[in-house]
Structure 1
Amino acid sequence: MTVGFVGAGRMGAPMVRRLVDAGHEVNVLVRNKGKARAIADLGGNPVTDVRSVTAAAEVVVVAVFTDEQVRGVCVDDGLLAAMQPQSCLVLHTTGSPDTARALAARRPDIAVLDAPVSGGPHDVSAGSITVYVGGDDTAVDRLRPLLGAYADPILHVGVTGAGQLVKLVNNTLFAAQIGLVAEAVRLGTHLGVAETSLLDALAHGSSRSRALAMIATAASVDAFIASVGGFVAKDVAVVRNIAADRGTELGILDAAAGVVAPRLTDPR
């Protein structure tokens, strides 16, 4: 299959490698010509404009960092307009479900799947990144083999936009869990228990969780927050805005998540 790819960075680069290894031809947008060699080393074809990304592409994958970047490349740079009829746009960026829905409304002749991922580059490289997919049943079934080059499980959670909502709830809960561990460490430290000893012990008790295990591996809450805080804060800010727009709130999750992602002003 011919695949167009935008965003071959921290997460996208191993996706390109896995797609190439699975036998796909991958045309990768390169903004900086100095990165062309790195893309070629992955087995991808570096191209410098969106029309070259979309030419003959049955699928275009976008794995940039923010909603603003998605809109920038898809709308402002003309990627969506240049896509082939009956092709498919896959959005791995975590953001607002409204972005995916708006793109789908612009091009009803293509399938738009919002497919945010849960995990890190090592999970992509292992072919075990989790993907939450929102979109049409037929389109999701059609893309399963391609996404399966780097994703397992591939969870179809509803119509276009549903993938983003599930991922945002997931990341809010994850942020809250980190916040709870941070508070537990604060309590333990005041009670005279060393942080490393506490984290190791809790990881073997009834309070264990994936978040706790990841923090224990990092050896401290502060070190773990330093490594993931930027990503988590971005997503919590998005879900706060979406919840407010829909007349609800994060409730107790907000207080716990606030330890990792302090309340931000509306970025829109």
Structure 2
Amino acid sequence: MSTVGFLGAGRMGAPMVRRLVEAGHDVDAVGRTDDKRAAVAELGANPVAGLTAGAHDVVVVCVFTDDQVRELCLAGDVVAGMRPGSTLVVHTTGSPTTVRDVAARFDHVDVVDAPVSGGPHDIAAGRVTLFVGATDDALERVRPVLGAYGDPILHAGPTGSGQLVKLINNTLFVAQIGLVAEATRLGTRLGIEEGPLLQALTHGSSASRVLGMIASAGSAEAFISAVGEFIGKDVDVVRRTVADLGADLGVLDTVLDAGVRR
């Protein structure tokens, strides 16, 4: 079993911490306030105000934004203090440039980007999807940690590849939401109520996982309202990253906005 330092025991990170503890790993989870450290203790982890340099086999970062990753891993001393041969795992969805920059600056650690596809309930059940960018050796060393909550663990390629796959996944996800939203608008113009339309379409050749999720929410507007905070952030990252890499979104760009807001 591994000694694990954990940063970001929030909505997504908390069930990860619990699963790691239940799998037998020794987990130090950072809490910046007394209340947050108490919440960490309830998960079974060791609550700490900060990570002790060189104390962990693996350090996991599961914060909300790419800027937070850069602040912790590039501007801060989190990675600099890790011992040689240890592994940094970044679950935050962000730019592949960020994890590549960390890997280039700190060659004494292995950097594994492993953005997730799924929610807290998937993590709690041990079945959240992980898109992983890493060397073969680094992934195998950290697999027992990731396997505490991740299944499947999908190796996309070298460091940064996991982020690229996740960004493409999220682009397609939002585009599909946008297509369904536009389809319901067409239905309204033609005199078909949205609820019955969505339920009917889930049984037709247009059925998809996204369509089923929207139908369960009752309307495209309700679903977009529920997930808008997260997908809006991801769309911004997608557009910046694609532009930085000298590519474009093509026809996908025309439906992204429809998937973010009604």
TM-score range, shorter chain: over 0.9
| Comparing 180-189 and 29-38, the one that deviates more | 29-38
Q: Deviations over 1:247-266 (max 9, x none)?
A: 2211111111111347xxxx
Contact kept? 1:119, 1:130, Cα under 8 Å: yes
1:221 partnered with 2:215: no
Q: What's 2:44 paired with?
A: 43
Contact kept? 1:50, 1:77, Cα under 8 Å: no
Q: How many residues align?
A: 260
Runs of 4+ in 1 over 6 A off after TM superposition: none
Task: Report the identity percentage.
Answer: 60
Amino acid of the structure 2 residue aligned with 1:41: E
Q: What's 1:6 paired with?
A: 7
Contact kept? 2:90, 2:113, Cα under 8 Å: yes
Contact kept? 1:67, 1:99, Cα under 8 Å: yes
SS in 1 for 2:111: strand
SS in 1 for 2:259: coil
Contact kept? 1:50, 1:78, Cα under 8 Å: no
How many Å apart are 1:66 and its aligned residue? 0.6
- Could you list the runs of 5+ residues in structure 1 that have no partner in the other structure? 263-268
How many Å apart are 1:159 and its aligned residue? 0.3
Provide the rounded CA distance (Å) in 1 between the counterparts of 2:39 and 2:151: 26
How many Å apart are 1:142 and its aligned residue? 1.4
Provide the rounded CA distance (Å) in 2 between the counterparts of 1:47 and 1:75: 21
Q: What's 1:185 paired with?
A: 184
Q: What's 1:194 paired with?
A: 193
Q: What's 1:103 paired with?
A: 102
- Could you list the runs of 5+ residues in structure 2 that have no partner in the other structure? none
How many Å apart are 1:45 and its aligned residue? 0.8
Provide the rounded CA distance (Å) in 1 between the counterparts of 2:110 and 2:225: 37
Normalised TM-score (structure 1) = 0.94
Q: Deviations over 1:117-162 (max 9, x none)?
A: 0000010011110000001110101111211110100000000000
| Comparing 216-225 and 151-160, the one that deviates more | 216-225
Q: What's 1:25 paired with?
A: 26
How many Å apart are 1:55 and its aligned residue? 4.3
Provide the rounded CA distance (Å) in 2 between the counterparts of 1:158 and 1:125: 26
Normalised TM-score (structure 2) = 0.96
Change over 3 Å in CA distance of 1:240–1:29 after alignment to 2: same
Amino acid of the structure 2 residue aligned with 1:49: G
Provide the rounded CA distance (Å) in 1 between the counterparts of 2:85 and 2:54: 13
| 1:37-186 correspondence runs (5 A) | 37-51=38-52, 54-186=53-185
Q: What's 1:250 paired with?
A: 249
| 1:252-267 correspondence runs (5 A) | 252-261=251-260
Provide the rounded CA distance (Å) in 1 between the counterparts of 2:137 and 2:247: 33
Amino acid of the structure 1 residue aligned with 2:241: I
Provide the rounded CA distance (Å) in 2 between the counterparts of 1:205 and 1:144: 39
